[in-house]
Amino acid sequence: MKKGKNDEAWEKLFDKYDILSEIDKNETFSIKSKQINEFREARLMTKFDHSNQLPEIFSDNNITILPDSRGNYILGKFKIFEDLKHKNSKPIPVKIPDFIQSLDISKITSESTALNIAHMSNMIDSVMKTKQNEPQSLLTLSGRMSSGSLQYNILNADKKLHEFTVENAQIEIDGSYENLNKILIVEAKNKIPLDFNIRQLYYPFRMYQNLNTTKDITPVFFTYADDIFSFHIYKFTDIMNYSSIKKVEQINFILNDSLDLNLDVVKRISATVKEVKEPKNVPFPQANTFSRILDMIDYIYVRKNKYELAEAYEFDLRQSDYYANSLVYLGLATKQDCYFKLNEDGIKIKNMYNSNKRNALIISKILSHKPFKLAFDSTLKNGGEYDRKYISKVLLDNVESINSMSTANRRMQTVVAWLNWIFSVIE
């Protein structure tokens, strides 16, 4: 695969300034926008919201980059990304006010629209625990602004704390909301990325801290995918430590529908579904966030290759291949000449909103595969507890490509994740 412009430009910068040696000697390397601009515009060379966006020379050497002022950046072996661990929990049904006529909730294509809907439907106030007798939250700051003066510590790759000073770095807030007691800072994405840059939450969090407010400040990573509005709520256990981020909880919402498929209906699906042979030309799924698989359905209505999917989803190529092949495995897409495209069944599901009827169809696709059906039936017999050893043995016995218990144990994680999704949409 041909290297991108960022890769080529950064390799030239690393060579010119001997950056690897400087970092080995001094742990960090400071570089100005003016120096970066010699090879490519700094604005395009320094924005990495997800780890897969890092240039190859960064990834190969465990190097990341952070701004410490407008026009200056620090390179080092910092932990700047946090994995987004998305849970399949039952979404809470909410509604937008009846008088709203200018929004088509079936066509939510932007992060700002998703956030606006989340606010007008009281999702945000629910997350903020606004009481009924209190005024509802209001949108306050959003857009681009300055961080002001910040001092903090950040962990290096060797788990040493590095002291960091920031002066007026540019930050961007997708939305911040304030009620009587709390301030909610939101970073929004209309997909479910694998990880995110902690700076997107930490710099706005510290900026608000510097206002000396008496209110509790809560950073949130918000995603909208597969008709589900998810609030990933975080805290920093040490205000002065960038690396002290910790997920507190995740709250999911859905508009105008309750995902409460009757368990007896799902049992009947399991008992009557026609078994399909395990496909030999499709790898067994290695995609653990089922909502992300379903969200990808919209993206391959028009055929896409793994490179295009990786760019759209901010994945690495390996992950984009895993998720797209999962749709092929389920019989919802085809792969031809390295391109993925929905088939007739996939188009049918694409044209359905997230509902009990749609989910029943998807569950039938999952349980038509013997390993998933046996795992599901076993879990029901165990009162909802997963027998992971049994599931691994099922995979070893029934999937030709799985020929060792260690591989079976790894693939078992995907089976459990998909079953988690099934149980999340059952009453």
| Residues 307-356: tens digit of each pLDDT | 899 888 878 888 999 999 999 999 999 999 899 999 999 999 999 999 99
In a domain, 41, yes or no: yes
**Consecutive H or E run containing 360:** helix 356-367
Same domain, 105 and 224: yes
Q: Which two tokens stand for residue 336?
A: 């031809």
Same domain, 401 and 285: yes
pLDDT in tens, 47-64: 999 998 999 999 999 999
pLDDT at 148 over 80: yes
pLDDT in tens, 248-267: 999 999 998 888 999 999 99
Instruction: Give 257's Cβ-side CA count (13 Å radius).
Output: 18
Rounded-to-integer distance, Cα 296 and Cα 313, Å: 9
Same domain, 247 and 274: no
Distances (CA, A) of 226 to 68, 148, 234, 262, 290: 37, 37, 22, 20, 10
Q: Which of 419, 424, 96 is nearest to 258 (CA)?
A: 424
Same domain, 61 and 137: no
Same domain, 275 and 396: yes
In a domain, 359, yes or no: yes
Q: Which two tokens stand for residue 241?
A: 């430590």
pLDDT top residue among 3 and 374: 374
Residue after which a domain boundary falls, among 22, 47, 77 = 77
Q: Which of 59, 51, 49, 50 is nearest to 7 (CA)?
A: 59
**Consecutive H or E run containing 151:** strand 149-155
Backbone angles phi, psi at 412, to 5 degrees: -55, -35
Confidence of residue 2 (pLDDT cuts 50, 70, 90): low
Rounded-to-integer distance, Cα 135 and Cα 39, Å: 52
Query: Cβ–Cβ contacts within 10 Å for residue 419, how many?
Result: 22
In a domain, 86, yes or no: no
pLDDT in tens, 261-308: 999 999 999 999 999 999 989 999 999 999 999 999 989 999 999 989
Whole-model pTM: value is: 0.91
Q: Which two tokens stand for residue 68?
A: 């410490």
Same domain, 350 and 287: yes
| pLDDT for the residue 160 | 87
- Residue 43, strand partner residues: none
pLDDT top residue among 162 and 345: 345
pLDDT at 1 over 60: no
In a domain, 85, yes or no: no
Rounded-to-integer distance, Cα 270 and Cα 331, Å: 17
In a domain, 215, yes or no: yes
4, 6, 11, 14 alpha-carbon torsion, rounded to 10°: -170
Q: Which two tokens stand for residue 272?
A: 């009557």
Same domain, 248 and 326: no
| pLDDT for the residue 10 | 97
In a domain, 333, yes or no: yes
Same domain, 56 and 183: no
Q: Which of 402, 409, 407 is nearest to 280 (CA)?
A: 402
Q: Which two tokens stand for residue 59?
A: 């990834």
pLDDT in tens, 24-37: 999 999 999 999 99
**Greatest alpha-carbon span in the chain:** 67
Query: Cβ–Cβ contacts within 10 Å for residue 403, how many?
Result: 10
Q: How many domains does the chain have?
A: 3
Map 201-240 to HEC letters: HHHHHHHHHCCCCCCEEEEEEEEEECCEEEEEEEEECCCC
| Domain encompassing residue 144 | 92-255
In a domain, 224, yes or no: yes
Bridge pairing between strands 92-94 and 245-255: parallel
**Which residues have a Cβ under 8 Å from the Cβ of 1 and sit 6 or more positions away?**
307, 317
Same domain, 361 and 270: yes
Mean pLDDT of 151-162: 89
Residue after which a domain boundary falls, among 24, 47, 77 = 77
Contact criterion met (CB below 8 Å) for 27 and 4: no
Helix (H, G, I), strand (E, B) or coil at 347: helix
Q: Which of 173, 285, 142, 299 is nearest to 225 (CA)?
A: 299
| pLDDT for the residue 69 | 85
Confidence of residue 136 (pLDDT cuts 50, 70, 90): very high
| pLDDT for the residue 238 | 96
pLDDT in tens, 52-110: 899 999 999 999 999 888 889 999 999 999 999 998 889 999 999 999 999 888 889 89
Same domain, 244 and 99: yes
Same domain, 118 and 250: yes
Instruction: Give 207's Cβ-side CA count (13 Å radius).
Output: 25
